[in-house]
Structure formats: structure tokens, C-alpha cells
Chain A
Amino acid sequence: MTQFYGPSRKRYIRQQKQTHGRHPFGVFPAHYPREILWAMNVLPVEIWDPPLEVSHANAHLQPYICSVVKLGLELILQGQCDDLDGFLFPHTCDSIQNLASIVYDYLDIKKPCYFFYHPKAPYRSSSRQYYLEQLQTLASRLEKQLGPLDLSELKQRVQQGERLAYVLRELYTLRARGELCASNTEFYRVIRQGEYLHPDDFLPILEGFLADRKGQADRLCPIILSGILPNPQEILHLLDNLEARVAEDDLLNCSRRLLQPPVAREDPFEALAENYFAMPPCTTKDSPLMERVGFLLQKAAHTDARGVIFCMVKFCEPEFFDLPQMVEELKEKGLASLVVDSELNQGLSGQLATRVEAFLEMIR
């Protein structure tokens, strides 16, 4: 079913430059106003888990830094970002802050770097104002490089972002109900293309996928994935083989960034702010732990999932900070969990596979 897959990143980036004159930007995780970038003809290309061996980056980073940051830096150091016209570093965690400073202050990369600060919970009345100011600041900085931002274009991109979120929500809802005929591997392969495809290309893929795969799926053991991203990637294939269906997720690169149904706003900046504050709870936004627990329990309740697998990226501070208490709270509420922590791109060892398999045997 190759029609649901776009071209590879490298080819796509070049093609976008040539055919649409778009400016590809390397964007680090996780929350940023992609609509502003789209409106300024920027193609955000997110950097999560490039398939590389870390060698050069170790010289710049402490051993206890997560591999999202290590791989991102490696990508830059290996000269694999030459096609990019800039970088954006959202203020996700200390590690990304650290990376931003290494890239901007110490590496002579000769590409514009932008920073985006978003408010963290608990939100106060001033948080919204702060967020609006950050959106405006980012836009005006980008304008210096890329020319003026057209507000009607931004409005249109905000609507496109909401349409994208609508289709994604539909896919999630169908999957939760067991009415989407797609394997775990395929589901994430399709939706993760949103990390680099332009919405003009991604939206038709998602719509096609939704139309094609709607239907009664096999009854498989429902589970929830939580954490940063589905890692190791092989875990999805293993879950497929073990007849388990990821019925919901609480992954930073997926549903934690999923927009909720929009509230009508005339001003596109106001609409972006509205969307940001309505997003699901997340460790990188310092959301209260009990809010996260409640969110997971709600997902478990509507999918009948009996277990949560935490896909942890080693040394991810925000996630590990919450983890012990999360596990305890879920256990108390009768929801079993399994913690799988590994570096990115390290594959799935036999032992790790056994743990996942035993966990499924336990909750079935």
C-alpha cells in the first residue's frame, strides 16, 4: 500500500525546495507553531530519531544526555543538514536548551537558528499573554529572514492544521474502537510522516488512509503506548506479531501534540494560543502528574486497554521524573504497566522482547 507513503526525507526536502521554493528548517522536538512556518513557506522537518551511529556528538555532550539530542547533534556534525535553511529549537527540556546553545553559540554552522519558548504549567492568566508574545516574536524574527508574514495565509494554515488534526483524531478514534484495519507498524509509519511532509501533501495521504482502512479490525489485545516516541521501532512489529493493538497512545511525537476540536477565533494568533492550551497534558509542559494519570486512565477506559507500555528514551529527564509515581498511581488504579527504556535506534534485544511478551501474557 505504497500510496500512503511519501518520498524519503532527503528527496522530499530537495523536491520541495526546487518545486515550491520552500525553506526546509530542522526542527527539534516538540511543541512549536508549525502553522507560522507553513505560512512563511518554511517546511518544518522534525528531528527525532535519525538513523545514525553517534560518534562526533559524544565529544560535545555529557554521557547522560538523551539520544534524541545526541542523534540530532550528530546529524548536524555529520554535515547531513546542508539542505536545511535554518533550525528551530523549542524550549522542550534542558537537554534541548543545551543543544541549542551548543549549535548556536559554539558550532559555526552558518545557518539561522530560532528559539521558541512556550509556557509551562501551572498556567496562569499571564501564560496566555506570554504565549501570544512568543508567537509574535518568532514570527517577526522569521520575517527578517523570509519577508513579511501574510496574515490571511496564516489563517488558512491554521485551518489546515485543524483539518489535519481532525483527520488524525478520526484515525485515533477508529483505532481506539477497533475499527481501523491497520497494523501498529503501518499506523505509526503513516502518521509519523507528518514530521516532515508539508500539510498539502500529508493531508491527502491521511485522508486516503482513513478512507481505505475504515472497517472492523481483528480483535486484538488493546494496549496503550506512552513516552516520547514508539521506540525501539521494532516494538511495533513485535506487538503486531503478538496480536496486540496499540489502541491509544500518549506519545510526545504523536497524540500529545494532537490539537483538540477548535474554538472559532478570528485572529490566527489567538487561535494558535487556544490550540496550544487545549492540548493533552505532557511532561515537557510540566503538566501535573495527576492530570496525566487521569488522561491515561480515561484512554484505558474507552479502549478496554489493560496495560500501558512506557517507551522511555534513556536519560529523558522530563519523562523519568514522572515515571515512578505514574507507575505507582496506575497500579493503584488497576492498570498494569511495563517500562521499556532504551537508546534510540538500538533495536530490540531478545530480553526486551521477552519482557514485552511476558507483559502481554500477564494482561491478557
Chain B
Amino acid sequence: MDYFAGIDVGALSTDAVILTAGSEVAAYSIVETGANSTDAAEEALAGVLAEAEIVRSQIKRIVATGYGRVSVPFADKRVTEISCHALGAYHLFPDTGTVIDIGGQDSKVIQVGEGGKVLNFTMNDKCAAGTGRFLEVMANKLQVALDEMGELSLRAGREVPISSVCTVFAESEVVSLVAQNHPTEEIIRGLHRSIVNRVWNMVKAVGVNGGVAMTGGVAKNRGVVALMEEKLGQSVHLHEEPQVVGALGAALLAWRASQSAG
């Protein structure tokens, strides 16, 4: 049987998805990108092959995406993460009209149309505010694990407003708040609010249409998701591993290309 793969080389993680000839997800893998994107892509592919219990020669076509897509020498095609997240989210949740992707080094809001086509998009690619990197820096400062932040913020009774959008200024603000003995969870909730507000400006620019899907690593943070849902006034679609949605979109493009090639 033929299989199709998508590999998303992101700033923090590299994700791979394998689809069957019937476009069903056979397996996925997530590895840290580390210092070498090509090695990370190889590792993610090896991982997903093992998971799917198939060998490389069974993969008919590979599409690479993410900022490191150019560093995947074995890819047949390279497509931007914007198109891939749109398609991946649409495939999982067909009523998706808007995708909010908050990744490690940038965030994007994508308007999605029929068939998962991108109709419009906006990207925050100039600074770390409103990205996973912002949370990583703050987790470090607060000495909490990144993946605990969501739970902690949900437990907070109140939130401490963070006035700085800039990561560097917010970091010093956090230091002062800690020194003033504000509870960690309240500070975290304030930080989450700051990310959501930042991304919200992008959401407003693109507009909300139909269902909203959140993708990217930050969508694993339940605290950020809850605040975004509050802002949207509707619940969002989430995959169990939101950062693989881009790789899924890439795999779907690999699959589609083989369909159209007959």
C-alpha cells in the first residue's frame, strides 16, 4: 500500500504525519527541532515510520512545511505552513472558517474557505510577543514547566494585568510582580491574557467566519485556549496534538498531488 507524508519543521518542534492511500492518519510523531532542521526532519520521519510500522520506500510522496521546509532534502515539494495549517484544520473540522495558529516563533490567523483554501491571512513575524517563545521565556522566569502553565492559570482566582506586550519588557514586569509576591498562577493568567490580546488584533484583521480551530504548540495550553474562547464567545476546535495540524496539511497535499497525478 502507498503512503503519504507531511513534515512540518517548526522553530521548536518538528512534526511528521503519515496518511494512508485513503487519506486516513496512519501515525504521527513529534520531535524537538534542536540545532539542525535536516536532522530533525530525518528523526521525525524515522519516528513516524516506526509508529506506522512501514518502511520509507512505501512513502509515495513527501511535502515539507514550516520555517525549516527548505532544509528537508528528501521532500518532493515545499509548501508554506499557512496553506498547510488551513488544509489540516479544514480536514479535521470541516466547518473551520478561521485558524489561529500560535507557534514557537510566530503566530498566524488564517481565513479558510471551501476545500481548505486560504482566503486571507495575517502573520505576526516581527517579534516574540504573542508566540510560544513569549511563554517559554516567562515560564523560565517564573520557574514553572511550560506545559504546567495552562493548568496553573485555570486555577487562578484573579489575574494580574501585564501591561507590556514586548517580551523583554514583560519579562522585567514579571520579575517585579514576583518581587511583590503576586501568586504565580495570577501572573501566568495575566501573561496568557497578553498573548490572547495580541493575537486578537490579528483575528480582528482577518475576521471570524464559522468554526475556529486553534493549532500550533500554544493550543496545548488550556489557559490560553480558555481565554481565547472567552474572547471569541464560542468554543474552538482542538486536535489532541495541535502542533501536528501543519504536518497533516502537508501530508494531505502530498496525497492530493498523487490523486491529481492519477
Residue numbers of B with Cβ under 8 A of A are 67, 79-83, 106, 117-121, 123, 125-126
Contacts and interface: CB of A to CB of B under 8 A. Distances in A.
Interface in A317-364: 336, 349-352, 354-355, 357-358, 361-362
Interface residues of A, number: 11
Give the dominant DSSP class at A's interface.
helix
30 contacts: A336-B120, A349-B125, A351-B67, A351-B106, A351-B123, A351-B125, A351-B126, A352-B125, A354-B67, A354-B80, A354-B81, A354-B82, A354-B123, A354-B125, A355-B123, A355-B125, A358-B80, A358-B82, A358-B83, A358-B118, A358-B121, A361-B80, A361-B82, A361-B83, A361-B118, A362-B83, A362-B117, A362-B118, A362-B120, A362-B121
Contacts of B118: 358, 361-362
A281 B245 CA distance: 45
B252 to A, nearest CB: 14
A357 B106 contact: no
Contacts of B79: 361
Contacts of A351: 67, 106, 123, 125-126
A73 to B, nearest CB: 25
Interface of A: 336, 349-352, 354-355, 357-358, 361-362
B67 A350 contact: yes
Contacts of A350: 67
A362 B123 contact: no
Contacts of B80: 354, 357-358, 361
A357 B65 CA distance: 12
A351 B121 CA distance: 13
B138 to A, nearest CB: 22
A351 B119 CA distance: 19
Listed from nearest, the 5 A-B pairs whose CB atoms lie closest are: A351-B125, A358-B82, A358-B80, A362-B118, A361-B83
**Which one of B67, B80, B120, B125 has the greatest number of beta carbons of chain A within 10 Å?**
B80
A361 B117 CA distance: 9
A354 B81 CA distance: 8
Contacts of A336: 120
**Which one of A351, A352, A355, A358 has the greatest number of beta carbons of chain B within 10 Å?**
A358
Contacts of A361: 79-80, 82-83, 118
Nearest to B105: A351
A358 B125 CA distance: 13
B106 A362 contact: no
Contacts of A362: 82-83, 117-121
